[in-house]
Copies of this chain bind each other. A is one copy, B any other.
């Protein structure tokens, strides 16, 4: 779960990044409109949290850009004033939720959770494909009620595949979602290969099926019922 915080108050950024990192999110931040724009164009996020009042522009204008760059991305607006027009404008532009400053990080967390549920759990508590069940709370994968132990990277990888079910995901985008933008482009993707194969093997050994297909030269595609 990769999240971008667009916010100019350093203290708030720090608080949010600290908190949500411990919650298992992959956190990045942008403190200006320009930087946010750049990051949004370059990378892919699952959720973007946008403060409206930025020093060099209104966060409102970022909303369409996010939607354009990826339909999947959830958008939460944060604003200092509790203005109904602001709220409506934001939601109209395509934001998924709205929060007024000041707020508790716990509340933002609850909203992100709700958004997460709507986006990928679609109202369910578990993610289910075939005889597999993923419980995000206990971070476990099980096959016919028997737990399959996954490492952190394998678990993240699996979730990324689930979100992009039936779609071809490229190796660079996998790397970006699992390592963040600290990931050096010049690095080779050997690590991705290894984790991918380990996950593939575990899924295959327990079910006998091949869930992850290789699309030569393009990436991988995860398919399941």
Where the two chains meet, the residues of A that have a C-beta atom closer than 8 Å to any C-beta of B are: 18, 21-24, 104-107, 109-111, 113-114, 117, 125, 137-139, 151-152, 166-168, 170, 172-173, 176, 185, 215-218, 221
Q: Is the CB of A23 within 8 A of B170?
A: yes
Question: Can you list 21 pairs linking A and B with CB atoms under 8 Å apart?
Answer: A21-B172, A22-B125, A22-B170, A22-B172, A23-B125, A23-B173, A104-B110, A104-B111, A105-B114, A106-B111, A106-B113, A106-B117, A107-B111, A107-B114, A109-B110, A137-B167, A138-B168, A139-B218, A151-B216, A151-B217, A152-B218
Residues of B within 8 A of A113 (CB): 106
Given contact pairs A18-B185, A138-B167, A167-B138, A24 touches B104 in the complex (Cβ within 8 A): no
CA distance A117 to B106 in the complex (A): 10
Residues of B within 8 A of A168 (CB): 137-139
Q: How far is the CB of A95 from chain B (nearest CB, A)?
A: 15
**Which residue of the partner chain B has the closest CB to A109?**
B110
CA distance A185 to B16 in the complex (A): 13
Residues of B within 8 A of A18 (CB): 172, 185
Our pick among B23, B114, B151, B185 for the contact of A106 (Cβ within 8 Å) is B114
Given contact pairs A113-B106, A137-B167, A138-B166, A217 touches B152 in the complex (Cβ within 8 A): yes
CA distance A168 to B24 in the complex (A): 10
Known contacts A23-B173, A107-B111; 19 additional CB pairs below 8 A are: A18-B185, A22-B172, A22-B176, A23-B125, A24-B170, A24-B218, A104-B110, A104-B111, A105-B114, A106-B111, A106-B117, A107-B114, A137-B166, A138-B167, A138-B221, A139-B168, A139-B215, A139-B218, A152-B216
Residues of B within 8 A of A221 (CB): 138-139
**Which residue of the partner chain B has the closest CB to A171?**
B22
Q: How far is the CB of A111 from chain B (nearest CB, A)?
A: 7
**Which residue of the partner chain B has the closest CB to A125?**
B22
CA distance A139 to B21 in the complex (A): 20
CA distance A173 to B151 in the complex (A): 20
Residues of B within 8 A of A152 (CB): 216-218
Residues of B within 8 A of A110 (CB): 104, 106-107, 109-110
